[in-house]
Every structure is written in structure tokens, then in C-alpha cells.
């Protein structure tokens, strides 16, 4: 029986062991199974590279449920993700991947760092969508890189980058559709991938911390930009509203 079935059928009891990494939005724990990790979502929201951190009640629960819902939608289209099963309101059991140190960003509308790098009008529709790669390195402030850097610096193989590009376009189409049906626009998002026995899997998380989502009619920001830009809106209520609108029901 494969790992997913074993865990889903609950024959394999996963036990949390040691904290192995603490990020800005999640804590990672090892388990009694060396192929399996537990991700615990945090209440923290940070801006300016972690300089400012604020805790929000329920943020951990909303992001865990939202991520689980989106990841399951993605895997229903035959894209492999690291998700195995929900452990609790704010924790999820995942496959342990060897993470690729690249942030993959997909952009459908112009906003954020794109506006600083190009003379492009805010909110312009980008067609076809732009894919960007960033080297994950806090010390270097995640510099933008291209496919040549990725391959020559051995961050990823040529074959895997080809596959990831295809997967990113497919995920973008799946998600754009889900949001559009809820009268929402998927502006951009960031994803990360990893390898398990040489196979590619979508890792990390999809949440409103690493994507931009606007109301389709008013263009109101519904994502982490509310916190980044200190807008006069309740960021947690907004996260909840997006989740509920796409069918991921959160009370």
C-alpha cells in the first residue's frame, strides 16, 4: 500500500517528534516516519522581511484549511502534492520532500515587485501569464534568476524545470477558474516544489499569504497586501471571506 493510502486508512499512526524548522508562517516537525513531516501553521503575519510580526487569532486555522482545500483541488487534476492528510485545525501531515531552492511566481495582473522592475501600469492584464524564478536565499534577498542560473548552479535539472513550467500553467488555469467562479481575480501567486524519490511534488503552501486575490468587481484587495500596505480592512475577515466564497467553508 502506498504512503497516502496507509495514512488515510489510519493504519499508520503518525507521531509528532522534534521541531526541525521554524519559518515565518509555519513550524515543521519530524515524525516517527522518516518520509513524513507535520506542518503547523502559525498565527503570525509578517511584513518587511519579518521586521514586523503580528499575531492574528484563527489565521493558523484558516491558512491550514485553505491550503488543504486548494492542494486537494490541484491534486484532483493529477498534479502531485505533498499533502497526505489533515492532522488538526492548524496542522497537516505531508510527505517529506527534498525542496528545490526556487520560488516560482506566476503573474496574471501587474502588481507588487513587477511594478518596481518594469514601466507597466498597475493592474494591467498580463497575457500570456509571466513566470518568474527567484533564488530562495534570505541573505541575498531572494534575487530573480532565469533558467540558465537554475540549471548551471544545479538548483534543478533541465527536465524538472520543463515539467514545472507546464505544471505552473496548469495550476494557474485551475485556480483562475476556481477564483473567477467566486467573482474573484487571481492576480499572482508563489509556489515551491520538491522531490520525493526523484519525482516532482508541489510543496510548501498555497494561501493568501503567498498569493494576491482581488474582488472581481471592486478590485478590492483580499490577501496579505491588506497587512503589507496597512489598509483599513480586517485581514482575517477577508481571508475567511475568500475561503468561504470558493467553497472552503470556515466558520
Quick check: helix, strand or coil at residue 87? strand
> Least distance (Å) from ligand 5GP to the CB of residue 117?
9
Per CB under 6 A, residues contacting ligand 5GP are 103, 105, 112-114, 142, 188-190, 209-212, 224
> Least distance (Å) from ligand 5GP to the CB of residue 34?
27
> Least distance (Å) from ligand 5GP to the CB of residue 45?
10
C-alpha angle 171/176/181, rounded to 5°?
135
Paired residues of 214 in beta bridges: 185, 221
d(CA 134, CA 17): 32
Nearer to ligand 5GP (CB atom), residue 101 or residue 112: 112
Nearer to ligand 5GP (CB atom), residue 36 or residue 60: 60
Distances from the Cα of 168 to the Cα of 71, 106, 228, 229, angstroms: 13, 7, 25, 27
Residue 107 CB coordination number (10 Å): 20
Nearer to ligand 5GP (CB atom), residue 132 or residue 241: 132
d(CA 120, CA 61): 36
> Least distance (Å) from ligand 5GP to the CB of residue 183?
19
Of all residues in the shown chain, the one whose CB is closest to ligand 5GP is: 112
Here the cell at position 35 is: 518520509
Nearer to ligand 5GP (CB atom), residue 7 or residue 114: 114
Amino acid at each position: 500500500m502506498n504512503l497516502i493510502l496507509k495514512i488515510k486508512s489510519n493504519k499508520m499512526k503518525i507521531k509528532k517528534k522534534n521541531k526541525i524548522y521554524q519559518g515565518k508562517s509555519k513550524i515543521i516537525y519530524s515524525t516517527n516516519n522518516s518520509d513524513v513531516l507535520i506542518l503547523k501553521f502559525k498565527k503570525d503575519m509578517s511584513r518587511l522581511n519579518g521586521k514586523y510580526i503580528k499575531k492574528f487569532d484563527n489565521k493558523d486555522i484558516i491558512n491550514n484549511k485553505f491550503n488543504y482545500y486548494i492542494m486537494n483541488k490541484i491534486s484532483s487534476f493529477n498534479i502531485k502534492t505533498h499533502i497526505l492528510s489533515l492532522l488538526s485545525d492548524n496542522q497537516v501531515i505531508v510527505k517529506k520532500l527534498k525542496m528545490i531552492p526556487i520560488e516560482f511566481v506566476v503573474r496574471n495582473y501587474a502588481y507588487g515587485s513587477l511594478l518596481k522592475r518594469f514601466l507597466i501600469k498597475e493592474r494591467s492584464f498580463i497575457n500570456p501569464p509571466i513566470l518568474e524564478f527567484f533564488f530562495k536565499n534570505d541573505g541575498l534577498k531572494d534575487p530573480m534568476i532565469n533558467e540558465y542560473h537554475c540549471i548551471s548552479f544545479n538548483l534543478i535539472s533541465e527536465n524538472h524545470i520543463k515539467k514545472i513550467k507546464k505544471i505552473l500553467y496548469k495550476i494557474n488555469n485551475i485556480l483562475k477558474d476556481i477564483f473567477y467562479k467566486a467573482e474573484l481575480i487571481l492576480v499572482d501567486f508563489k509556489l515551491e516544489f520538491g522531490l520525493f524519490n526523484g519525482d516532482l511534488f508541489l510543496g510548501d503552501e498555497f494561501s493568501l499569504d503567498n498569493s494576491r486575490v482581488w474582488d472581481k468587481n471592486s478590485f478590492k484587495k483580499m490577501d496579505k497586501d491588506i497587512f503589507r500596505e496597512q489598509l483599513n480592512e480586517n485581514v482575517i475577515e477577508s481571508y475567511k471571506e475568500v475561503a468561504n466564497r470558493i467553497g472552503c467553508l470556515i466558520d
